[in-house]
Amino acid sequence: MAITSGTADPRNLGGKGDGKATPMTKEERKVIFASSLGTVFEWYDFYLYGALASIIAKQFFIGDPTITFIFALLAFAAGFIVRPFGAIVFGRLGDMIGRKYTFLVTILIMGLSTFIVGLLPSHASIGVAAPIILVTLRILQGLALGGEYGGAATYVAEHAPHGKRGLFTSWIQTTATMGLFMSLLVILGTRLAVGEEEFAAWGWRIPFLVSVLLLGVSVWIRMSMQESPAFAKMKAEGKTSKAPLSEAFGQWKNLKIVILALVGLTMGQAVVWYTGQFYALFFMQQTLKIELATANILIAIALLLATPFFIFFGALSDRVGRKWIILGGCLIAAATYFPLFKGLTHYGNPALEAALQNSPVVVVADPASCNFQFNLTGQKKFPSSCDIATSALSSASVNYTRQDAPAGTVAKIMVGGKEVTSFNAVMTPDNLNFDKASKDREAAFKKEVGAAIKEAGYPAKADPDQINKPMMVLLLFILVLYVTMVYGPIAAMLVEMFPTKIRYTSMSLPYHIGNGWFGGLLPTTVFALVAFKGDIYYGLWYPIVIALITLVIGAIFIKETKDRDIYAGD
């Protein structure tokens, strides 16, 4: 495939697109590789922050509780909430000045932000400036991420031969696995090389510093690339958009497609993605109490086995269409989440399954004191006796039912013939945390609850000898297989839904709202639902309902796009 910046019809590049199996050329592989590196970077960094969150918090978020709370909120926002704004900023640039240079800028911002974290002095060295700089870097990174995926997907799709856009763009979707393994290998290697004590003190910086190597390779390769043929042709003809934002979102003709892309595609895709990988891992660690290394190995094996199916479903979408593969993944996921997660409990922690069946727990409380504990940052405290009781049970993976009590009654937990009385906590003056006496009472209360549920048969952790690892891998593989169904064809479909002149802007926003907000909020929302209802599986209703909404809206309003000429029109 000859990549040029001239005005040759890009539909003739890379072959005829007549459905015949032709080998991928060297230039085509280069386009895919260069574009995918940014997404590898995204997931490498994502997993670094996730794996090292506790160490980073100790290094930077220290001091006044109010400041800590604000910085925690901002750090969270940088990871998820600001991505759609990055999609708007860099999408606009990509549609005005070109795909190549825009997502060259995004990889530079993203890579340098990650690298600088490794150099950033701690709170002990420079005080409050440390968390301020860290949050600023995270915000810059979040903005850059908002422009990275849309640029990569658009660039690859506009280089792909007609009839192969699903195959070509699906390679980008495989990079999450590569990012995961790179981060795990670098973290593990560093820990083994310097030791746990040194790693906690300064060695945690090495994985962030190592990222500069990936950045260097990414920039070097991207500098050698040419502009996408579709954009180059449009620019040569003087048809580029001078106001991409108003054309993308200010005109109902395109805005309604943006909304449909969000509600009828990416919203459901995102919750299936986050449930299959991130919530499944969270469920094994936090709910089933499976040891961290074991849970990571199980999900890693499932990812390795399932990753080729991103390519399979991307290529399949070139033949049978993208819409029903994506919506089919949403439907099957929604229909099977409950039995699959119950299966994870059965094979991962059979003692917990037995306790849930044989030792019912009841929380007796004033219903007015029981709140929906949506905790955006992981730091907010709920002081009522009911909330303290239900939070303790949910954290211990204990199902419960609620029995109403008269107004003002202090909540109590009834388990195995025992009663454990909760308490109403006193908040600090800033109303952000429990005061010291309440913290001490909370620790004593949790210890008492732990003893009671242990006596009732609830295990403190999963017995490694009772974990059926082959069956766990099979169930996790199925969950990730759903991810490949919804995610493999999504990039090609989003590209095909919008005209070239505003494609970068239009496709980036629904993708990042779907994945950043609906997907990113999934763990928090799921835990709040579990704590509110008292059922370790109840949180699954969140991804199920979202996936079904996408199924209905997508089935009715989304049109198939695989045969669309993405070079036609403006």
Amino acid identity for residue 35 in this structure: S
Assess contact for 42 and 72: CB atoms under 8 A.
no
Indicate the pTM of the whole model: 0.83
The 10s digit of each residue's pLDDT in 121-173 is 988 888 878 888 888 888 888 888 887 777 788 888 888 888 889 998 888 88
Q: Which of 15-24, 414-423, 499-508, 538-547 is predicted least confidently?
A: 15-24
More confident site: 164 or 247: 164
Rounded CA-CA distance 462/302 in Å is 20
Which one-letter amino acid corresponds to residue 19? Answer: G
* Chain centre distance of CA 519: 6
Across 183-196, average pLDDT: 85
Place of tokens 């199925």: 478
| Alpha carbon distance 254, 258 (integer Å) | 6
What pLDDT does residue 233 have? 72
Tell me: the pLDDT tens digits for 52-63? 776 887 788 766
Quote the CA–CA distance of 338 and 538 in Å, as a whole number. 9
**Which DSSP state fits 199?**
I
Of residues 218 and 374, more confidence is placed in 218
Token couple for 532: 């509110």
On whether the CB atoms of residues 386 and 369 are closer than 8 A, the answer is yes
pLDDT of residue 1: 33
DSSP string for 381-411: ---SHHHHHHHHHHHTT---EEEE--TTPPP
* CA atoms of 90 and 82, how far apart (whole Å): 12
Given a cut of 90, whether residue 176 has pLDDT beyond it is no
Query: Tens of pLDDT along 290-299?
Result: 987 788 889 8
Looking at 1-10, 67-76, 92-101, 267-276, which range is the least confident one? 1-10
Give CA–CA dist 345/288, Å, rounded.
7
Q: Which residue is listed with tokens 């005061």? A: 435
User: What is the predicted pLDDT for the residue at 485?
Assistant: 96
Report the SS3 class of residue 205.
Answer: helix
Q: Is 238 helix (H, G, I), strand (E, B) or coil?
A: coil
Percent of the chain with pLDDT over 70: 88
DSSP H/E element including 109: helix 99-119
* pLDDT higher at 242 or 277: 277
Query: What local confidence, expressed as pLDDT, does residue 265 receive?
Result: 95
Domains of the chain: 27-238 (1.20.1250.20), 241-349+462-570 (1.20.1250.20), 354-455 (3.40.30)
Q: What are the C-alpha distances in Å from 252 to residues 34, 391, 567?
A: 35, 45, 22
Summarised one tens digit per residue, pLDDT across range 216-226 is: 888 887 777 77
Q: How far is CA 331 from CA 88, 165, 217, 317, 335, in A?
A: 31, 24, 40, 17, 6
